[in-house]
Amino acid sequence: MRATGIFGQGHDGGRRFRPDTARGVNPLKVPLLDLKAQWAAIEGEVREAVDRVWQSQRFVMGPEVSGFEEEMAAYCECPRAVGVSSGTDALLCSLMALGVGPGDEVITTPFTFFATAGSLRRLGAKPVFVDIDPQTFNIDPHKIEEAITRRTKAIVPVHLFGQCADMDAILEIAARHKLPVVEDAAQAVGATCKGRKAGSMGAVGCFSFFPSKNLGGAGDGGLCTTTDEELADRMITLRDHGQQPQYVHAVVGGNFRLDAIQAAVLRVKLRHLDRWHQARRENAAAHSHRLAGTPVVTPVVAEGNVSIFNQYVIRAPRRDALREHLTRAEIGTAIYYPIPLHLQQCFADLGYREGHLPEAEKAASQVLALPVFPELTAEQIEYVGETIRNFYTAG
């Protein structure tokens, strides 16, 4: 039984759950993510899809990949989708297709997974970091324009934790300065901003299918979406060593191809994705209800946005001590992200120092992700909430 619509009652008819601490036994363990529960529900479908690939013996590209691309294009409400080998390679391939290279500047957020800025550096471009909105953790559009220079080549907002950035404001700035927007939607497949799907609003949308994502594969995988037919064709060429036709290379690309087995697995999971998203939203609402009145700040979803809650991230006073307390209670947590990118050693030459981007730095010291996967039970959510309440009550 999931926590759908249940904020106070578990299977015990409303009595608070308490671990059997007298016997030293805790019957409730709450992992940060439980992919085994997901596997149990779809095992037959996935095995059938993978067997189909083995029967075909077409393991790289082929009909499974093209079928998945068509289905993802429809899901993201975009004309074209290009499957690639990872979310990182989705960024790399799209930036290459847009001509980003040495000497260029690209504006992005410092509060994200490393691949966002790492891909820029691999192309010789300079990441220009802009501070975040303290409520959504996404890039603050009010700070973007002052960071634009004559060298600015693109803007890369990240739809963090499953919620779209403020795309109206970002797209307006980009249009005024004639800059392409690359949506890093690695954590936001299916999220919407005023009815528009993540990945459908900028020049390119970049997705990751790392196993922990809401739409996760059996390994690495990624995808680029675009409304630009010419840009899609360039990315198709670039993902296969730049050859078009075979053995004819006008440009140097990379090996960014998506494996057929990954596509087959993802086609199965895509059929269940919206139901999983809804379960995550319901679990997030249950968490927020239970944590009301505690010192933690629960996630804020901006007006006009629908989040998929790839993560459920709170701001927590005494974060590290709380995390230790939850670990002792066998509740899984994670910190996304403990060091903002502008303070990473590999970007030291960019000249950023502590205090330059205060909102990102503050978030890094406070954020804590709690379990929100679809198969969470009402008892598990109750246990997480009570354990956090007990921590702050005890002082």
pLDDT of residue 126: 98
Quick: pLDDT tens for 98-135. Answer: 999 999 999 999 999 999 999 999 999 999 999 999 99
Query: Per-residue pLDDT for 300 more than 50?
Result: yes
How open is the CA angle 113-119-120, to the nearest 5 degrees?
110
Q: Please say if the pLDDT value at position 6 is more than 80.
A: no
Task: Provide the pLDDT confidence category of residue 7 given band limits of 50, 70 and 90.
Answer: very low
The highest-level CATH class for domain 41-270 is: alpha beta
pTM of this structure: 0.92
Which residue's structure tokens are 């922990």?
A: 212
Residue 8: pLDDT above 80? Answer: no
Domain layout of the chain by residue ranges: 21-30+272-333+371-393, 41-270
Fold of the CATH domain 21-30+272-333+371-393: Aspartate Aminotransferase, domain 1 (3.90.1150)
The residue among 20 and 83 whose pLDDT is bigger is 83
Report whether pLDDT(2) > 60.
no
Residue 15 has pLDDT above 90, yes or no: no
* pLDDT the model gives residue 25: 52
Question: What is the 8-class DSSP label of residue 122?
Answer: H
24: pLDDT strictly greater than 60: no
Instruction: Report the mean per-residue pLDDT for the chain.
Output: 93
**Residues contacting 139, CB < 8 A, separation 6+:** 108, 109, 130, 131, 132, 133, 157, 158, 165, 170
Mean local confidence (pLDDT), 298-318: 98
Asked whether residue 371 carries a pLDDT value surpassing 50, the answer given is: yes
Q: Quick one: pLDDT at residue 26?
A: 67
**C-alpha–C-alpha distance, residues 246 and 308, integer Å:** 40
395 pLDDT band, cuts 50/70/90, is confident
- Please write the tens of the pLDDT for every residue from 207-238: 999 999 999 999 999 999 999 999 999 999 99
What pLDDT, on a 0 to 100 scale, did the predictor assign at position 394?
A: 87
- Per-residue three-class SS string for 164-210: CCCHHHHHHHHHHCCCCEEEECCCCCCCEECCEECCCCCCEEEEECC
For residues 323 and 333, is the Cβ–Cβ distance under 8 A?
Answer: yes
Q: Quick one: pLDDT at residue 115? A: 98
Cα(122)–Cα(384) distance, rounded to whole angstroms? 41
